[in-house]
Structure 1
Amino acid sequence: MRIKEAIAAKGMGGYYFDDQAAIKMGAVQDGFIYRGKPVTPGFSAIRQKGESILIMLRLEDGQVAFGDCAAVQYSGVGGREPIFLAEDYISLVEKEVFPRLKGLELSSFRELAAQFDGMKQANGRPLHTAIRYGITQALLDAVAKSRHQTMAEVIAEEYGTAIAEKPIPIFAQTGDERYLNADKCIIKRADVLPHGLINCRSKLGKEGELLLEYVEWLKDRVLDQGEDDYRPALHLDVYGTIGQLFNDDIQAVGSYLGQLAEKAFPLQLKVEGPLDLGSKEGQITALKQLRQELAAKKIPVQIVADEWCNTLEDIKEFTDAQACDVVQIKTPDLGGINNSIEAVLYAKKHGMGAYLGGTCNETEYSAKICVHIALATQPDQILAKPGLGVDEGFMITYNEMHRTLALLKSAS
């Protein structure tokens, strides 16, 4: 089976592009917008609409494969690629990428993904990670359609893995509606919640008291509203703000995490990005020291790496250093989805927790394709996406997972 035609269209992301640097510097929120000027290159406002490029590959038999080029909410910081605006990149996709796709024989997904993930532009530069992300999604879908298989089956066959027989735990994120949307997570029995979007110090409180109060409220809410057999893990993303509060003092940060753990008990607590040291080397060193501090004091908090842990090589470095308990595999940041597959497998092989994440700013197609990656590689949890409203992203992720599991069971 060959690719007959490649088509592109400008699309939306499931959320917004936010200038994280400006927000962390204290940008004032007014309704849903932020006042002030952006500071990260490429941004025209501190908050602007999320964008994507929609990829469609028409096959010889008339079937159409889909993939969406999308980038993370906080683009341009933490070692990530610049903001991805469709108008800036669609011509490049059509003029430089599509000619290589037309007439291509759909043989091995793994080989094709490596080829396009490593493709260079005419100027010698690599393709933006968002482009590599969307093109490889479409290639996986195309290979699966050519074989009349699910995408999970293609991955499992080519990477030698076993497909999960039960659902992968789903992590639902509340966004700024961390109270109202936490109730939604509990009603839907999300396995992991709430993320919380703790992206500026004002959400911690002057001495961290607001976050302590929130964790205690959240624990009580789960115990009060959830059934007796419902004990989700609590996973907070704090974007380095705890480190900011305590001037990156490892012992002080560790003590504060201990207080959070006490408030969360008996629920498991994971904290993502407690520190942000501004470089990969600094981040690895600091998180490893923090992890050792927690172990020495027997504080039951799992550390999750995100900032500066962007590429497959970064993930390997954080894993090899045992700098954290869990790595977030932020799928758009890794470029080709082949890298996300390999990242999950590498983390698991080396005893590292694997969180197949991504961004609220993705699309319904990229979210569904990530479900197939999860079923074929079995990470510890997968992010419900896109969006931050809980309902839509959770539904897309949950339904694609259960739909695929039912199809696979019926065929066995």
Structure 2
Amino acid sequence: MRTSPTVRDVILAPGNGSFFYDDQAAIRAGVAHDGFRYLGTPLTPGFTTIRMPSRSLSIGLILSDDVIVWGDMMSVQYSGAGGRDPIFQIDEIQTLTGSVVIPRLLTADVSGFLAACEFVLAYHEGRRLPLAIEYGVSQALLRAAAHIARTTLAEVISSEYRLPLPEKTVPLYAQSGDSREINVDKMILKAVDVLPHGLINSREKFGASGGTFREFVKWVAKRTREIGEPGYHPVLHFDVYGWIGFEMGMEPQKIADFISRVADDVPGYRLHIECPADFGSTEAQLEEYAKIVTLLDRRGTEARVVVDEQCNTLDDIRRFAKAKAAHLVQIKMPDVGSIADSANAVLVCKENGVGAYLGGSCTETDLSARAAVNVAVATQADMILAKPGMGVDEAISIVGNEQSRLLSILNYRRSQNFLQTVSATSA
């Protein structure tokens, strides 16, 4: 009798994320630039400078058939902000992984993804493991289950959640970083579905009464018409990091008024505004975002609100989706934790008629990005972030090509199943 491979050993490999950790509180306070650096004193616990190179920790499961499957642990660019886990400390994560996670892995049945996640990622001393650990270990567990089943990661997700084999691509969303104009041109020339993020994370970029931001939005729309191929008409998505609330006031009516004016600046375009305000807690964010959504819906505008800060875990996402406290939820995968929870979060959003944006961070790795593609395609999320890094080209290549390869495999599977069915019927 043939048995499924088990985990024979575990190895760890320290590495780098694809961008930097940034102290959001210090940046909001108006610190100065020095080239690529920020000057000043960090405000968020764990930061030694305002901008720090991101790190990762790879975990490799050595299966009993000698195949090694990997996952990458890391945290997001704005760690410690908006209710998120603190900045990634590789030594602490490595110690906890060795003492708690590895012993569980060595006794786990890794043939079933969801059951393995539940066992290996169970609470320790009454608390969740750091979400970075959940994220990386769950990637490795998904790859182990896929290896054992001889399928793609997406097929494991589809099977475990009883979803049909996906056929459609998930729209790709690219982020510009600070090199806005050049990167917008790259996105348009590559016909990205959703763009450009914009990184509107300071008063300087938002402008007095939002004037600088509004001019940028109009320029992006104009640029899509100037250099885009005929018929190219992307969704315009901007992350303003709470600056509408900071600059215009924290009243939902004022925030909805401003968003409506921005939408009127670019008629005919679907407009996403991510994090229009940060109300400081999940409870306040839930209540006030629901009001903003209601106000915008009554106006019939093309503007949509996207929640990010203060909506991190699966439980948070479920509450926002049920309350209709956003038009779209960013499922920021390293903040959600296990990618099983990210898959579940997409399905929760869809069940409640709320858009599911499977996101993440520029600090991620190629390995985590490829796992995210499989989750997005299997669950048919409404859009997926092109990640990692801020270079645009690399992220579009990694995520876009993984999606293309995956759908080619799934189409091949369907054709083979069809041929087998026809052959059996003929016989």
**TM-score of the aligned structures, taking structure 1 as reference length:** 0.97
One-letter amino acid matched to 2:329:
V
Alignment of 1:387-398 (within 5 A): 387-398=389-400
Match runs of 1:103-118 below 5 Å:
103-118=107-122
| TM-superposed deviation, 1:251 | 2.2
In structure 1, the partner of 2:80 is 76
Per-residue deviation, residues 300-335 of structure 1 (Å, max 9, x unmatched): 210001111000000011111111101111100111
- 1:234 match: 236
Alpha-carbon shift at residue 354 of structure 1 (Å): 0.5
Matching residue within 175, 178, 201 for 2:177: 175
The equivalent residue for 1:65 is 69
CA shift at 1:284, angstroms?
1.0
**SS at the partner of 2:292?**
helix
Does the aligned pair in 2 maintain the 1:11–1:86 contact within 8 Å? no
Match of residue 333, structure 1, among 332, 335, 341: 335
Tell me the residue number matched to 2:245. 243
Amino acid at match of 1:24: R
User: Unpaired runs of 5+ in structure 1?
Assistant: none
CA contact (8 A) 2:111 2:149 kept: no
User: 1:283 — aligned with what?
Assistant: 285
Cα–Cα, structure 1 residues 70 and 163, in superposed 2: closer, same or farther, change >3 Å? farther
1:204–1:24 CA distance, 2 compared to 1 (3 A): same
Give the 3-state SS of the residue equivalent to 1:227 in structure 2.
coil
In structure 2, what is the equivalent of residue 356 of structure 1?
358
Q: Partner letter of residue 151 of structure 2?
A: Q
Residue 51 of structure 1 aligns to a residue whose secondary structure is strand
Q: Secondary structure at the residue paired with 1:41?
A: coil
Between Structure 1 and Structure 2, whose CA radius of gyration is higher? 2
Q: Which amino acid aligns with 2:142?
A: L
Q: Within 5 Å, which residues of 2 pair with 1:238-277?
A: 238-277=240-279
Q: Which ranges of 4 or more aligned residues in structure 1 deviate by more than 4 Å? A: none
Q: By how many angstroms is 1:124 displaced? A: 4.3
| Aligned residue identity for 2:354 | M
Give the root-mean-square deviation of aligned CA atoms: 1.1
Which runs of structure 2 are paired with 1:29-40 in the superposition (5 Å)? 29-40=33-44
Tell me the CA shift for residue 263 of structure 1.
Answer: 2.0
Task: Identify the residue that residue 131 of structure 2 maps to in structure 1.
Answer: 129
SS at match of 1:356: strand
Query: Are the equivalent residues in 1 in contact too, given 2:180–2:198 (CA < 8 A)?
Result: yes
- Structure 2 residues without counterparts, runs of 5 or longer: 415-427
| Cα separation, 1, equivalents of 2:171 and 2:121 | 28
Aligned amino acid, residue 380 of structure 2? Q
Query: In structure 2, what is the equivalent of residue 165 of structure 1?
Result: 167
- Return the alpha-carbon distance in structure 1 between the equivalents of residues 85 and 26 of structure 2: 17
The amino acid that maps onto 1:17 is Y
The letter for the 1-side match of 2:385 is L
The amino acid that maps onto 1:230 is: Y
The equivalent of 1:26 in structure 2 is 30
Quote how far apart the aligned CAs of 1:267 are.
1.6
1:214-225 pair list within 5 angstroms = 214-225=216-227
Tell me the distance in 2 between the aligned counterparts of 1:375 and 1:298: 30
State the match for 1:44 in structure 2. 48
TM-score, scaled relative to structure 2: 0.94
Q: Displacement of 1:157 after TM fit?
A: 0.6
Q: Distance in 2 between matches of 1:238 and 1:330?
A: 16
What's the counterpart of residue 319 of structure 2? 317
Counterpart secondary structure, 1:138: helix
Amino acid at match of 1:256: F
Q: Is the 8 A contact 1:70 1:361 kept in 2?
A: yes
Given residue 367 of structure 1, which amino acid in structure 2 is its aligned partner? Answer: A
Task: Provide, for residues 160-191 of structure 1, a one-character-per-residue CA deviation record: whole Å limited to 9, x for no partner.
Answer: 11232121101000011111100011111110
Taking the aligned partners of 2:101 and 2:332, their CA distance within structure 1 comes to 24
Query: Identity percentage over the alignment?
Result: 44
Report the CA distance between 1:247 and its aligned residue.
1.7
Question: Contact conserved, 2:111 with 2:148, CA < 8 A, in 1?
Answer: no
Q: Distance in 2 between matches of 1:311 and 1:12?
A: 24
Asked if 1:403 corresponds to 2:402, the answer is: no
Q: Which moved more, 1:220-229 or 1:371-380?
A: 220-229
1:344 lines up with 2:307 in the alignment: no
The amino acid that maps onto 2:105 is: L
Q: Report the CA distance between 1:103 and its aligned residue.
A: 4.6
| Distance of 1:383 and 1:117 partners within structure 2 | 25
1:14 counterpart = 2:10: no
Counterpart secondary structure, 1:284: helix
Helix, strand or coil: the match of 2:82?
Answer: coil
Question: Which deviates further from its counterpart, 159-168 or 21-30?
Answer: 159-168
Q: 357-366 or 88-97, which moves further after superposition? A: 88-97
1:119 — aligned with what?
123
How much has 1:406 moved relative to structure 2? 0.9
Give yes or no for contact 1:233–1:270 (8 Å, CA) kept in 2: yes
How many Å separate the matches in 2 of 1:393 and 1:255?
34
Please report how far the alpha carbon of residue 250 of structure 1 lies from its aligned counterpart in structure 2 after TM superposition: 2.2
Determine the C-alpha separation between the residues in 1 that align with 2:86 and 2:248. Answer: 30
Distance 2:122 2:410 in 1: 32
Which residue among 55, 60, 70 is the counterpart of 1:56? 60
1:86 and 2:72 correspond: no
Q: Which amino acid aligns with 2:339?
A: I
Look up the SS of the partner of 1:107 in the other structure: coil
Contact 1:163 1:375 in 2 (8 A): no
The 2-side partners of 1:14 and 1:211 are apart by 27
